[in-house]
């Protein structure tokens, strides 16, 4: 490759913003029609939030839910 192609690629990559992880995940689910993954992802996110909050000052409030 010559220098002009490398410079064009660098310029394009700097100008374009990459989509966020969440947007990219949603676009992948729509494109591949993998909607059955949505409840699994939501449950994993919920468990992750509970684990994170379990080690914080919110723990007494979470324990009363169970």
DSSP letters for the chain: --HHHHHHHHHHHHHSPPPPHHHHHHHHHHHHT-TTHHHHHHHHHHHHHHHHHHTSTTHHHHHTT-
Q: Which pTM value belongs to this model?
A: 0.51
Looking at residue 7, its pLDDT comes to: 64
Q: What is the dihedral of CA 35, 39, 42, 43, to 10 degrees?
A: -150
pLDDT for 9-40, tens place per residue? 677 767 767 778 888 888 888 888 888 888 99
18: left (phi over 0), alpha (psi -120 to 50) or beta: beta
């Amino acid at each position: 490759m010559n220098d002009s192609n490398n410079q064009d690629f660098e310029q394009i990559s700097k100008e374009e913003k990459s989509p966020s992880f969440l947007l990219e995940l949603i676009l992948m689910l729509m494109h591949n029609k993998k909607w059955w993954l949505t409840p699994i992802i939501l449950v994993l996110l919920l468990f992750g939030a509970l684990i994170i909050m379990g080690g914080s000052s919110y723990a007494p409030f979470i324990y009363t839910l169970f």
